[in-house]
């Protein structure tokens, strides 16, 4: 069937990783906006299939005619209009800017959600060429913070007055309730261990069995990173090295030591070029560079952890994944390369279960980057790296179908995309198919929260946070009351904290005081 000229294709992907270099002054390392521009230039070279630095006429032509520049919100650098700065780095002047300059909300789902939005706009004829990018230079920023006598970082900025605001994409909303934050659920390292321990409780694993599963999964991820030239940590680790606390691997929040957490201290950028078949042909991009986004689906789970009925499950991933696969006309068993968002081990386990993917298949480790621990976790932009790896893998496997996911906040926002090196089987004007699963997720039951609960409670899941010296600080407990409502509490007693890390705490009973203290 002839391809509809409005069919969207990914024609170029680019990644930039600047590893630590003792010979380079951090003040001279590229800032985030430069990493973004470099990633898009690399995507232009990739579209032509040329070596870095070689002329890329097709990719350059697509950048020059871009209708939209979309930037994934950086966490370590702020500007009024980052996509405007990227446009200027790419050679656009103020009189010839793309008509869309877009900045996302917080969320690691953003790169995949931007893909879906761009593909839909291209299919409608609203866009011809979209550039998507993001980057972080957290390693450089942290180095500068630790060395105040070093030259200051002179990163790009814009005046608040007179700089136009970008268009905004995504849902901007806090990730936790006031009650959750008052009990210590403030950062991802506080939230995700709650899901991880809930998984152990739901499956009946012992603490030792659970640690072995985590270590084995993350060890396989480290092996992928070791073979990935864009990974931040290119050293394979054994399961024991990953799960055993020690120098360089201090405990963060039970059961996670550092090597089980997302690594934000990276200097990384990535981006992609997605355009219509018509635009790809006009630019002369070789056909073997094209990868087709077949389908996508987006949804968020009940926004706050407190309202989710099961803390080891994700209905939004299940429904979005099922829809994306159905729209593409494939099943989980048909998938080749897969990159699941992987900030913490629990996320991979939850997603694999909901999508029907085996977690221990040696032929498909569920990551193409090495994950956010080893591949690197550049803030909201990890999924751009995942998409880039999926695109590369599909070019190397003609006829294969791949999948990439993105995730935001506390396993809250989810975006699932299916890709192939072949055109969509259904052809026609429906070259890309998308579905919003939010109405279905919203219709699911919610847990009732009792913010003022006191008295007898049962521990549903928990974590113990540690200070930088490796000492337990506080237990964060999600509990159920006698009426099966959810309540939140804390433990600070040293003996109890030690026992929660050595013996199963899920199912234990205790008393919740008015100040939030739980006595087990």
406 SS3 class: strand
Which residues lie across from 194 on neighbouring strands?
none
Distances in whole angstroms, Cα of residue 286 to Cα of each of 46, 399, 428: 10, 17, 22
H-run or E-run covering 123: helix 110-124
Distances in whole angstroms, Cα of residue 392 to Cα of each of 239, 341, 495: 28, 17, 51
Q: What's the pLDDT at 82?
A: 98
Q: What's the pLDDT at 62?
A: 98
One-letter-per-residue 3-state SS of 210-261? HHHHHHHHHHHHHHHHHCCCCCCCCCCCCHHHHHCCECCECEEECCEEHHHC
Task: Quote the percentage of the chain above a pLDDT of 70.
Answer: 99
The answer to whether 450 touches 481, Cβ cutoff 8 Å, is: yes
Alpha helices, H only, 303-417: 315-328, 345-355, 371-374, 382-396
Q: What's the pLDDT at 151?
A: 83
Q: What's the pLDDT at 363?
A: 86
Rg of the chain in Å (alpha carbons): 23
Alpha carbons 458 and 481: distance in angstroms, whole number: 7
Alpha carbons 225 and 214: distance in angstroms, whole number: 17
Same fold, 8-147+159-170+264-442 and 455-519: no
Q: What's the pLDDT at 262?
A: 98
The CB-side HSE value for 348 (13 A sphere, CA atoms) comes to: 30
Give the neighbor-by-neighbor strand order of the sheet with 267-276: 8-17, 267-276, 129-137, 68-71, 100-104, 167-169
Query: Could you tell me which residues come within 8 angstroms of residue 237 by beta carbon, excluding any fewer than 6 positions away?
Result: 218, 219, 222, 259, 374
Distances in whole angstroms, Cα of residue 292 to Cα of each of 96, 295, 356: 29, 9, 23
Q: What's the pLDDT at 430?
A: 56
Architecture per CATH, 8-147+159-170+264-442: 3-Layer(aba) Sandwich (3.40)
Domain range list for the chain: 8-147+159-170+264-442, 455-519
298 SS3 class: strand
Q: How far apart are the first and last CA of the chain?
A: 67
At the top level of CATH, the class of 455-519 is mainly beta
The angle formed by the CA atoms of residues 403, 408 and 413, to the nearest 5 degrees, is 75
Residue that the structure tokens 């209009």 belong to: 81
Kindly report the backbone phi and psi dihedral angles of residue 376, in degrees, each rounded to the nearest multiple of 5, phi listed first: 120, 145
Report DSSP letters for 58-84, one per residue: HHHHHHHT-SEEEEPPPSS---S-HHH
Global pTM?
0.97
Q: What's the pLDDT at 427?
A: 44
Our measurement of the distance from residue 214's CA atom to the centroid of its chain's CA atoms, rounded to an integer in Å, reads 19
H-run or E-run covering 266: none
Q: What's the pLDDT at 426?
A: 56
Q: How would you write the pLDDT of the chain (520 residues) with one tens digit per residue? A: 689 999 999 999 999 999 988 767 788 899 999 999 999 999 999 999 999 999 899 999 999 999 999 999 999 999 999 999 999 999 999 889 999 999 999 999 999 999 999 999 999 999 999 999 999 999 999 998 888 888 889 999 999 999 999 999 999 999 999 999 999 999 999 999 999 999 999 999 999 999 999 999 999 999 999 999 999 999 999 999 999 999 999 999 999 999 999 999 999 999 999 999 999 999 999 999 999 999 999 999 999 999 999 999 999 999 999 999 999 999 999 999 999 999 999 999 999 999 999 999 988 899 999 999 999 999 999 999 999 999 999 999 999 999 999 999 999 999 999 999 998 875 444 579 999 999 999 999 999 999 999 999 999 999 999 999 999 999 999 999 999 999 999 999 999 999 999 999 999 999 999 999 999 9
The answer to whether 298 touches 437, Cβ cutoff 8 Å, is: yes
209 SS3 class: helix
Distances in whole angstroms, Cα of residue 244 to Cα of each of 180, 200, 211, 247, 250: 29, 18, 9, 10, 9
């Amino acid at each position: 069937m002839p391809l509809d000229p409005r069919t969207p294709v990914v024609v170029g992907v680019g990644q930039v990783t600047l590893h630590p270099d003792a010979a380079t002054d951090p003040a001279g390392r590229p800032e985030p906006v430069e990493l973004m521009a470099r990633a898009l230039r690399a995507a232009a070279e990739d579209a032509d299939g040329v070596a870095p630095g070689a002329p890329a006429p097709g990719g350059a032509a697509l950048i020059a005619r871009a209708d939209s520049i979309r930037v994934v919100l950086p966490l370590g650098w702020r500007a009024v209009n980052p996509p405007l700065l990227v446009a200027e780095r790419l050679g656009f002047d103020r009189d010839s800017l793309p008509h869309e300059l877009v900045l996302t909300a917080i969320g690691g789902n953003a790169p995949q959600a931007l893909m879906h939005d761009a593909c839909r706009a291209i299919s409608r004829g609203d866009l011809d060429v979209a550039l998507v990018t993001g980057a972080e230079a957290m390693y450089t920023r942290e180095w500068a913070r630790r060395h105040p006598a070093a030259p200051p970082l002179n990163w790009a900025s814009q005046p608040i007055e007179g700089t136009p605001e970008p268009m905004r994409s995504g849902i901007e909303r806090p990730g936790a309730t006031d009650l959750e934050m008052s009990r210590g659920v403030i950062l991802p390292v506080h939230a995700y261990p709650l899901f991880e321990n809930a998984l152990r409780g739901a499956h009946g694993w012992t603490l030792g069995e659970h640690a072995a599963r985590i270590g084995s999964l993350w060890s396989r991820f480290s092996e992928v990173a070791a073979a990935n030239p864009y990974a931040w940590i290119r050293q394979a680790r054994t399961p024991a090295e990953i799960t055993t606390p020690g120098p360089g691997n201090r405990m963060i929040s039970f059961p996670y030591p550092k090597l089980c957490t997302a690594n934000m201290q990276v200097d990384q950028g990535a981006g992609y070029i997605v355009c219509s078949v018509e635009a790809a042909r006009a630019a002369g991009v070789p056909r073997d560079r094209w990868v087709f986004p077949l389908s996508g689906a987006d949804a968020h789970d009940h926004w706050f952890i407190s309202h989710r009925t099961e803390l080891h499950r994700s209905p939004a991933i299940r429904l979005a994944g099922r829809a994306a696969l159905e729209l593409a006309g494939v099943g989980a068993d048909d998938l080749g390369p897969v990159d699941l968002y992987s900030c913490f081990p629990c996320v991979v386990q939850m997603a694999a279960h909901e999508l029907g993917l085996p977690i221990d298949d040696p032929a498909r480790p569920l990551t193409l980057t090495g994950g956010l621990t080893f591949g690197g976790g550049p803030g909201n932009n990890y999924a751009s790296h995942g998409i880039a790896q999926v695109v590369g893998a599909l070019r190397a496997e003609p006829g294969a179908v791949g999948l990439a996911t993105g995730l935001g906040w506390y396993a809250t926002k989810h975006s699932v995309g299916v890709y192939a090196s072949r055109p969509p089987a259904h052809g026609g004007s429906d070259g890309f198919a998308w579905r919003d699963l939010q109405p279905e997720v919203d219709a699911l039951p919610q847990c009732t929260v009792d913010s003022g609960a006191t008295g007898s409670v049962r521990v549903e899941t928990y974590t113990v946070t540690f200070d930088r010296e490796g000492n337990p600080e506080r237990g964060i407990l999600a509990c159920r009351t006698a009426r099966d409502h959810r309540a939140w509490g804390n433990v600070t007693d040293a003996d109890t904290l030690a026992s929660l890390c050595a013996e199963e705490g899920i199912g234990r009973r205790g008393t919740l005081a008015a100040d939030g203290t739980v006595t087990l």
